[in-house]
Amino acid sequence: MSEEHGPKSNIRYAMVIDLDKCTGCMACAVACQEENNQAFYEDETNKNRSVTWLKVFKLDNQKSYPGYEEQFLPRPCQHCDGGHDAPCSSVCPVNATKRSIYTGIVSQIYPRCIGCRYCMAACPYHARYFNWWDPDWPGDLEKELSPLVSTRMRGVVEKCTFCNHRMMQAKNKAIMNGEKGIDPDDYVPACLEACPTGAIVFGNLKDPDSDVAKLSKSKRAFRLLSKLPTKPKVYYLSSRKWVRDLADHRR
């Protein structure tokens, strides 16, 4: 439930990605794969089947050489803040996905998902992925599986969780240290941690001193599909008008 429909929370986790700092290096995408035990197949040709929670799109201005320009856009789950629930979680029949009233994070409980894929139909960002096959970690590759993130079996939907498990770890640490709130430095998603240019910023949108709060108000800021009432919590920054226009399919 969003704020209007539930108790007020001081925390709304959001992300700001500065596209002018993104070189399309893919460190964020690969770190996300590794952190979250994402499945990989022998043939990843079909990108409708490939599981990529953080997908890096290559945008271009459709002009001819040498007026041609490109920009890369990493797209995690947008953790939509609109309505009484995010589009995906409002249609889940088993509450496998829910937006937290406390943090704004749209989480996913993989073992609870029954694989109806209603959420995938609902998500306008195509940020959700279905396990069409049983994930396989042949040989010793199984050793790289992290116990902090549930593994998924065939028939289950998965998506970016803003590294929710890292927040839980930060919470545990705060509790053990007898502190009230988590230390922001202890909760950093894997993509941000990997990024070598600092293009990704993460934090509490309701904290006016946070970088995300300030950057979300930048002149360069825009969100994807802003004409929809999804109210995504991932803001993008770009100084190129053609990039900002693409967010709403304007050319």
Partner 1 sequence: MKLTRRSFIKFAVGAVGGIHLTPLPWYLMDDAAIWSQNWWFRQVPKKGALTSATTVCTLCPGGCGIEAGLISEKRAIGISGNTSHPVSMGAVCPIGASGPQFTYGLSRVKTPLKQTGKRGDRSSFKKIGWDKAIEEVGAKLASLGGNGERLAAVGGARGSLSSELFSRLIWALGSDNLFRVPSSADSEELASLAMTGVRAPFSYDLVNSRYVLSLGCGVFEGWGSPVWVHQTLFGNNGETRLVQVDSRMSPTAAAADRWVAVEPGTEAVFALGMANVIVQQGLYDRGFVGSASGFGEFRRYLAEEYPLDFVSDLCGVEPREIVSVAREFAGVRPAVALWGRGKGSMPDTLFSAMAALALNGLVGSVGARGGVLPTPQPPLADWPDLAEVAPSAQSPKSYLDFLSSIEAASGPEVLLINQANPAYGPVAPALFKKALAKVSTVVCIGSYMDETALSADYVLPADAFLETLDGAVTPRGMPYPVFSLVSPALERLYDTKPAGEIILRLAKAAGDSVAGGFPWENWEEALKARAQGIVESKRGAVSDEETAFAVAEGKGVKVAPNFGDLDELWGKLGESAWFDPGQKLAVDFQTNSGRFTFSAAGLKGIGLGKKNGFPRPLDAPLSGDPKKFPLILVPVELLIMPGESLGAAPYLVKMLRDDQLTHNDVYADVSPRTAKKLRLKQGAMARLATPQGALIVRVNLTEAARPGVVYLPVGLGHTAYDKFLKNKGANPYEVLEFLKDKETNEVSWWGARASLSKV
Site residues, partner 1 (CB under 8 A) = 21-27, 29-31, 33-35, 37, 40-47, 50, 52, 56, 58, 60, 62-66, 68-72, 93-96, 109, 111-114, 138-148, 150-151, 153, 169, 190, 193-199
* Gap between the Cα atoms of 126 and 77, Å rounded: 9
Quote the least distance from Cβ 140 to partner 1, whole Å: 4
Quote the least distance from Cβ 96 to partner 1, whole Å: 7
CB closer to partner 1, 114 vs 226: 114
> What values do phi and psi take at 201, rounded to 5?
-125, 145
CB closer to partner 1, 104 vs 135: 135
Contact predicate 79/53, CB 8 Å: no
Element (H, E) at 190: helix 190-194
CB closer to partner 1, 1 vs 228: 1
Quote the least distance from Cβ 222 to partner 1, whole Å: 19
Quote the least distance from Cβ 135 to partner 1, whole Å: 9
Contact predicate 128/88, CB 8 Å: yes
* Gap between the Cα atoms of 212 and 69, Å rounded: 27
- Structure-derived torsion over alpha carbons of residues 160, 145, 73, 203, reported in degrees to the nearest 10: 50
Q: How far, in whole angstroms, is CA 10 from its chain's centroid?
A: 21
CB closer to partner 1, 9 vs 50: 50
* Gap between the Cα atoms of 178 and 165, Å rounded: 20
Quote the least distance from Cβ 145 to partner 1, whole Å: 4
Quote the least distance from Cβ 224 to partner 1, whole Å: 19
CB closer to partner 1, 106 vs 113: 113
Amino acid, res. 133:
W
Quote the least distance from Cβ 66 to partner 1, whole Å: 4
* Gap between the Cα atoms of 115 and 94, Å rounded: 10
CB closer to partner 1, 19 vs 86: 19
Cα–Cα distance list, 203 to 5, 94, 111, 207, 228 (Å): 23, 29, 28, 8, 24
Tally the C-alpha atoms within 13 A of residue 216's C-alpha that lie toward its C-beta: 24
Which residue has tokens 């943090």?
103
CB closer to partner 1, 11 vs 192: 192
**Is residue 221 packed enough to be buried (19+ CB in 10 Å), middle (13-18) or exposed (0-12)?**
middle
